[in-house]
Amino acid sequence: METKWIHIKEEELATEEAKKVIGQAGDIIKEGGLVAFPTETVYGLGGDALNREAAKKIYAAKGRPSDNPLIVHIADKESLKKITDRIPDSAKALMDHFWPGPLTMIFEKNDKVPVETTGGLDTVAVRFPCDDVALAFIKAAGGFVAAPSANLSGRPSPTTGAHVYEDLNGRIEMILDSGKAGIGLESTIVDLTGEIPVILRPGYITEEMLTEVLGRVENDPTILNVSEGIRPKAPGMKYRHYAPKGELTIVSGEDEAVTAYINEQIRMRKKEGCRVGVIGTKERIDRYESCVHKNIGSRRDEAAVARNLYAILREFDTEQVDYMYTESFAIDGIGQAIMNRLLKAAGHRVVEV
């Protein structure tokens, strides 16, 4: 299959040319095909959420296990009522505060949503993104677009159109490319089907922000720990996602001790003939010995750290780095999401120094 890779700018959406492209992308979805599209978090791999054959195609294109449910993307709040018959008050409050935006909520699904889309579950994850290209595309596609992140299963989520092309060229009909994603980590997922809201995946909408609206939220116990015998409630969180090909270690402790430990590892691994990489913050990156250095952004700007993380993991793959070391981050605010993704990429390999 030939994949059309089309560049489209948010500020030019009103032009005839852009309308034509969005129309074509929408038609592909209505005919059961697949289109990758930008969102404010990461790029999504879209198919018609109400078409079971399209859902199957998404799993096949990604090489994703079919028990891992997809998020249904909508372009207005009204659409939610068409796919669930129960919207709890907690959800209404969150919708008022955070939709459109990087928050996904879990609802009981109704019969409109095929089980192929929800990986066999009787609940459905729903998200109303705030990216204008995404919204125009979802509307043109009929209003319900199932979309996992547009990476091959097991690779870091794509934050640029080029990342999508790298993974899915030849497997999908079209890529809508509007440049670098603003947030860079996947949406926060909250389960509202039980008595107490539970965060299944941390993201840009933080625990603190959710608590302010809801009064009380809990974290799925697997977010920052590997707990023997406890399965994460979001099926996708159990896979070793976001994993670079080499071995990543998170080094945690006082600044000086972290630098010393990483430098010692760089020397040792280089002696063994391996390629080594370091993920460091702007403030500290110059302190590391010569190897593949990646400046992830300032420690004072965690949004930048979040935005840069996946691209760096991909670069390490391209540069065939064998061993990678990264500084650690505080787990409050968006740091919780950063650490959750880093821990997964590292297979929970953490050294305390």
Q: Which does 75 bind (CB under 5 to 8 A by kind): Mg ion, ligand TXA, none?
A: none
**CA–CA distance, 279 with 38 (Å, rounded to integer):** 26
Strand order in the sheet with 350-352: 292-295, 276-280, 323-327, 247-252, 350-352
Which residue of 29, 33, 34, 41 would you call a contact of ligand TXA, by CB under 6 A?
41
Amino acid at 183: I
Any contact of residue 336 with Mg ion (CB under 5 A)? no
262-291 binders of ligand TXA (CB under 6 A): none
Q: Give me the least distance between CB of 81 and Mg ion, in Å please.
A: 27
Q: Residues near 92 by Cβ (< 8 Å), separated by ≥ 6?
A: none
Cis omega before residue 197 (within 30°)?
Answer: no
**CA–CA distance, 351 with 353 (Å, rounded to integer):** 6
User: Helix, strand, coil: what percent of the chain each, to 5?
Assistant: 35, 20, 45
Beta-bridge partners for 126: 72, 105
Per-residue x/- track, 59-88, ligand TXA (CB under 6 A): ---------xxxx-----------------
CB atoms within 10 A of CB 280: 21
Any contact of residue 326 with Mg ion (CB under 5 A)? no
Q: Which does 234 bind (CB under 5 to 8 A by kind): ligand TXA, Mg ion, none?
A: ligand TXA
Measured from the CB atom, the residue of 39 and 160 that comes closer to ligand TXA is 39
Measured from the CB atom, the residue of 127 and 341 that comes closer to ligand TXA is 127
Any contact of residue 186 with ligand TXA (CB under 6 A)? yes
Amino acid at 232: P
Measured from the CB atom, the residue of 193 and 281 that comes closer to ligand TXA is 193
Query: How is residue 236 annotated by DSSP?
Result: G
Any contact of residue 3 with Mg ion (CB under 5 A)? no
Any contact of residue 149 with ligand TXA (CB under 6 A)? yes
Which residue of 3, 123, 160, 326 would you call a contact of ligand TXA, by CB under 6 A?
123
Any contact of residue 117 with ligand TXA (CB under 6 A)? no
Hey, what are 111's tokens? 């019969």
Q: Give me the least distance between CB of 321 and Mg ion, in Å please.
A: 22
294-353 binders of ligand TXA (CB under 6 A): none
- CB burial of 27-44 (b: ≥16 within 10 Å; e: otherwise) equals ebbeeebbbbbbbbbbbb
Number of residues in contact with ligand TXA, rule: CB under 6 A?
A: 28
**CA–CA distance, 58 with 158 (Å, rounded to integer):** 16
Measured from the CB atom, the residue of 123 and 149 that comes closer to Mg ion is 149
CB-based contacts of 85-90 (< 8 A; 24+ apart in sequence):
85/110, 88/192, 90/192, 90/197, 90/214
Q: Give me the least distance between CB of 109 and ligand TXA, in Å please.
A: 8
Which residue of 117, 149, 265, 308 would you call a contact of Mg ion, by CB under 5 A?
149
Measured from the CB atom, the residue of 310 and 323 that comes closer to Mg ion is 310
Specify the 3-state DSSP secondary structure of 176.
strand
Number of residues in contact with Mg ion, rule: CB under 5 A?
A: 1
Q: Give me the least distance between CB of 151 and Mg ion, in Å please.
A: 6
Burial of 183 (0-12, 13-18, 19+ CB in 10 A): buried
Which residue of 61, 113, 175, 237 would you call a contact of ligand TXA, by CB under 6 A?
237
Site of interaction with ligand TXA (CB under 6 A): 39, 41-42, 44, 68-71, 104, 106, 118, 121, 123-125, 127, 147-149, 186-187, 189, 200, 233-237
Site of interaction with Mg ion (CB under 5 A): 149
